[in-house]
Every structure is written in structure tokens, then in C-alpha cells.
Amino acid sequence: MAAPKLNVELRDGGGRRYSIKLRKNGFIPGVIYGHNKQTKSIKLKEIELSKVLNKFGSGSTINLNLNGEVIPAIIKEVQKDIIKDNLLHIDFQQLSEDEEIKVFVPVVLVGKGKVENSTTIIQQQIMELEIRCLPKYIPSSIEVDVSNLKFGDSITVGDLNLGENIEILHDEDEVIASLTANSKYEELEEDKDVPIYESNKSILDK
């Protein structure tokens, strides 16, 4: 999948009041930084940024168009209002072709429908994996096949093989997902074990 594009502009202001004014006008302040790169203060349209975040998520690679210059970057940090969930600020890290970068990539479980039923369910412990690689090897997601799991089995980081170009920055024994008992089924079974006492007395027998 091709990296999405975003148009950005340089901004000449900063501070809380300036940022509030920007957001009222439909823009979000941000920065572009990188190793041995000059940090650029930018602004971009909130509506365009929201579309990209909703479709690709934070941590995705992106091409920034700054006055005709295309800058390959990664969405490094997104700041939101903790109450209103509004976008406040965004950080982009500029990428270099020959320089490795550490990023978090979402984990997508496939094959859940083959092993989940009324008694078992897949529990996912790791939602994102931190990896290190060159920009061209950054995956949009990491698929983990759980279709062959038996009850009580787990898939750990050590079970993954992402190839020689990607280094996973987790302990090998960290559990990604496991097949466990469905808690709803256990509750039903517990309810079955509760004795039911019957009485021959009528509520009118007093």
C-alpha cells in the first residue's frame, strides 16, 4: 500500500494562544524533526490529518508535501485533548533511506474464527510490537496466525519470523496471544452448579 500524502505549511508562530487560534481556523500545529535534520515548525488542515489517522493510524509512514518538497516521514506522536479527544499537536519524524528507525507496528490476529467458539476465546496481550528496521521495510501491520492454536496454547514473540531485515525489540518469551476459556461460558457453567431448592409450600400458606 502506497504511503498516504499530507500537505503541510511552515508556521511562524508558537505558544498556547497561537495554537488555539490555529485550531479555531481548522489547522493543527506540528513539527518535523529527524537525525541531523533541522526541526521544522508546521501546520496542516485538521480534516486532512483526521482522515489519514482514521485510515492508517499513528505510527504509519507518510509523505509530507512542504512547498513542493516531498518529505518521507513517520507519525511519531499525536497529542489529543483527554476530555474532548480533539487533535492538539502532531510530531513527524523525517526518514532517511539508509538509517534504521524504531517504530511501533499494530499486531493483527488472523484465523480467530477457526478456534473461537462458545467455550474458547483468543486473548491478545500485545496490540503493538516495537521494531527496528530501515524505512523501506516498515510494515503497515504484523499479521499473526492463530488458527492452529489448541486450548491453552500461546504464541510468543519468539515464534515470529519477520525476516532478517526487521528486528523485534521485545523479549522472546512475551506472549502475544493465547487460546483460553471463554469467561461467559465459565459463568454459565457455574450457574448450572448452583443448587435450586424447591418448596411445596404455597405463598398463600401462612
CATH number of the domain encompassing residue 84: 2.40.240.10
Residue 122 and residue 87 in one domain? no
Within-domain flag for 118: yes
Residue 128 and residue 166 in one domain? yes
Residue 178 and residue 153 in one domain? yes
Residue 78 and residue 149 in one domain? no
Residue 152 and residue 184 in one domain? yes
150: CATH: 2.170.120.20
Question: Order of strands, edge to edge, in the sheet holding 154-156?
Answer: 120-124, 175-181, 154-156
Provide CB contacts within 8 A for 47, sequence distance 6+.
Answer: 26
Within-domain flag for 204: no
Determine how many CB atoms are found less than 10 A away from the CB of residue 171.
9
Of 9-13, 57-61, 153-157, 162-166, the poorest mean pLDDT is in 57-61
If one counts the domains in the chain, the total is 2
pLDDT above 70: residue 110: yes
The widest CA-to-CA distance across the chain, in whole angstroms, is: 91
Residue 57 and residue 109 in one domain? no
**pLDDT at position 58:** 80
Residue 85 and residue 124 in one domain? no
Residue 40 and residue 106 in one domain? no
For residues 69 and 67, give the distance between their C-alpha atoms in angstroms, rounded to a whole number: 6
Residue 16 and residue 71 in one domain? yes
Average pLDDT, the chain: 88
Q: What confidence tier does 185 reach under pLDDT thresholds 50, 70, 90? A: low
Per the structure, the complete domain to which residue 20 belongs is given by: 5-96
**pLDDT at position 73:** 94
The C-alpha cell of 172 is what? Answer: 522472546
Within-domain flag for 199: no
CB 103 within 8 A of CB 138: yes
Residue 118 and residue 187 in one domain? yes
